[in-house]
Amino acid sequence: MPVPAAMRRYLRKMLRGTLGLAIGATTGVAEFFYVLFGGIALAVPALRRPVFSGARTLSEMERQRLEKYFGEENATDYSGRRAMAYLVPRCVIGLLSAGIFGLILLGAGSGLIIGYQLLDGRSPGGDAPADWYDPVTTLLFGALLVFLSLQGLIGAATLDGKLARYFFGPSKKEQLRRRVSELATSRAEVVEAVNGERRRIERDLHDGVQQRLVALGMLLGRARRATDPKRASDLLRQAHEESQRALVDLREVSWRVYPIALDADGLHPALEALAERSGVPVHLRVDLPERPPAAIETVVYFVASEAVTNTIKHAAATRIDIEAERDGDRVRVRITDDGTGGARESGGGLSGLARRVAAADGQFIVDSPPGGPTVVTAVLPCA
């Protein structure tokens, strides 16, 4: 029987956690002795440094174990003194999990013996013949014990993680360092996003509007060179039509650069205009009791417009849904289509959007399994 992928992942996670806990149980025993003798050794000032550095080595081992088996990431910038302080409760937890494993082994052993006795027709204990209720009570009691031991394991694992977070949790300095590197990345991304947009505008202008104007000029030039008046007036008529189309193109390009409705009337009318202009039917649901800050409105608008453009270009969709709503102190925009899916966040248009959203400290999620549907979500803070 095939096991569903989610189930398999869960089982693997459980096994990995159990293994991590078992290793933690053995290190717990070692740590218990280290804490015991190290604690006594601390009374001698000369021994303090080596004791603390040993404690650091041990807790570094614990930190790596937690990272490997539980995916717990913790900071490394803690002192030897803090490491020693961590080892005291940590060895208790280690011993506790060692105890739980011991009890589980014991329970499994007795379970085997009792099971054998029941199959043999004897009651648990083995002397008297079995009553009819013996298997039932044994089964219920066994299930209860299995449940309790599983709970024990989960509890020990949780405690293990919590303790490490408490002692090694990122210091102020570490938090600051992370924030700075986040900001540096997003700044670089903003620059990249702006450049990408500039390139797009340049292309829109040169490959669209300029071509029209050159064609227009060419028509006028031909009209001037034409000797036959009927032909000249025909060319002029074409030139006139071409000038109208050039204007339409120009309006399109400038709209794509920045929809003026966004400034004047806010997000809702701008999105309505976007929906009207789309070739694929767009269903709009905007629930924003008050206007978010202009910068956030702009990002929301561009997420929506770029997602719609992408959908029209690539997804062969027949319907697009745009939802924008307030969620506490955040704005959430979600664009769903019924197209072919398979969009990747690393793809051209979407990676630009991801950068834009990251620059505003927001989250950007693309969910687009092959075969569809595609859901693009952006959550932006707007305090």
- Return all residues near 103 (Cβ < 8 A) that are at least 6 apart: 149, 152
Tell whether residue 221 is a contact of another protein (CB under 8 A): yes
Bridge-based pairing state of the strands 282-287 and 330-337? unpaired
Let me know: does 216 contact 246? Beta carbons within 8 Å.
Answer: yes
- What's the min distance (Å) between Cβ of 202 and another protein? 9
Category of 229 on φ-ψ map: left (φ > 0), alpha (ψ -120 to 50) or beta:
alpha
In terms of CB distance, is 90 or 212 closer to another protein? 212
Q: Is the dihedral of CA 202, 205, 207, 208 positive or negative?
A: positive
Binder to another protein among 150, 215, 232, 286 (CB under 8 A)? 215
Distance of alpha carbon 382 from alpha carbon 359, whole angstroms: 13
In terms of CB distance, is 179 or 206 closer to another protein? 206
The binding track of 266-305 with respect to another protein, each residue x by CB under 8 A or -, is ----------------------------------------
The strand ranges marked E within 91-141 are none
What are the beta bridge partners of residue 363? Answer: 379
Structure tokens at 375: 């859901």
- What's the min distance (Å) between Cβ of 352 and another protein? 17
Tell whether residue 222 is a contact of another protein (CB under 8 A): yes
Tell whether residue 240 is a contact of another protein (CB under 8 A): no
Binder to another protein among 4, 46, 225, 346 (CB under 8 A)? 225
Site for another protein in 94-133 (CB under 8 A): none
Q: What CA–CA distances, in Å, run from 30 to 27, 50, 159, 337, 380? A: 5, 17, 19, 57, 48
# residues near another protein by CB under 8 A: 19
Tell whether residue 214 is a contact of another protein (CB under 8 A): yes
CA torsion 7→25→174→35, rounded to 10°? 170
Binder to another protein among 9, 179, 224, 344 (CB under 8 A)? 224
The binding track of 312-351 with respect to another protein, each residue x by CB under 8 A or -, is ----------------------------------------
In terms of CB distance, is 154 or 220 closer to another protein? 220
Residues counted in the chain: 383
Tell whether residue 220 is a contact of another protein (CB under 8 A): yes
- What's the min distance (Å) between Cβ of 215 and another protein? 5
Positions touching another protein (CB under 8 A) are 203, 206-207, 210-222, 224-226
